[in-house]
Amino acid sequence: MLNEGDTFGEAALLEFNNIRQMSVKAGTEVVCLALGRETLINILGDKVQNIACRNILKWGFEKDPLLSKLTQVQKEKVFENMKHINAKPGTVVLKKGDKCTKIIVPIDGNLIEVIDELLVTELIEFKLGI
């Protein structure tokens, strides 16, 4: 159920070839605000998805005890150099026993923490949205 202040449709708005996965109908009399893709592009430019990803990175860094200590200039340099990685379900993104050589920030989907082959816990689930 969506309530006052919740959003719907932002993923389809940001991912230009996305097909709507569900419908939403009013459960009560409702007043909504709406913003179309073309208007959003006119306001923010044609890099809307990049802006959304950068905001997600900022929120993630603010929540992390270590990364939150970076200066704003340091954070911006990190953001500028991060690259998109797409992984299919079951793909190992970071492997136990390997040297720590990257920071991973999910922006859509979920990552699963695998402690051993018998114990799996959900680590992060995140849907792209503003």
Say if residues 49 and 25 touch (Cβ distance below 8 Å): no
Residue 71 lies in a domain: yes
Structural domain contains residue 107: yes
What per-residue confidence (pLDDT) applies to 106?
79
User: Domains in the chain: how many in total?
Assistant: 1
- For residue 43, tell me if it sits in a domain: yes
Q: What is the pTM of this model?
A: 0.52
Question: Considering the domain boundaries, does residue 49 fall inside one?
Answer: yes
Output the six-digit token pair for 66: 């270590």
Q: Report the DSSP beta bridge partners of residue 109.
A: 126
pLDDT per residue, tens digit, the chain (130 aa), is 777 877 777 766 666 566 777 778 888 888 888 888 788 788 887 777 777 778 888 888 888 888 899 998 998 888 888 887 888 888 888 877 888 788 888 777 777 776 665 544 444 444 444 4
**Alpha helices of the chain — where are they, by DSSP H?**
10-14, 37-44, 48-63, 72-81
> Is 75 within the bounds of a domain?
yes
Residue 93 CA to residue 105 CA, distance in Å, equals 11
**Inside any domain, residue 53:** yes
Question: What pLDDT is attached to residue 13?
Answer: 63
25: containing domain: 10-126
Residue 4 maps to a domain: no
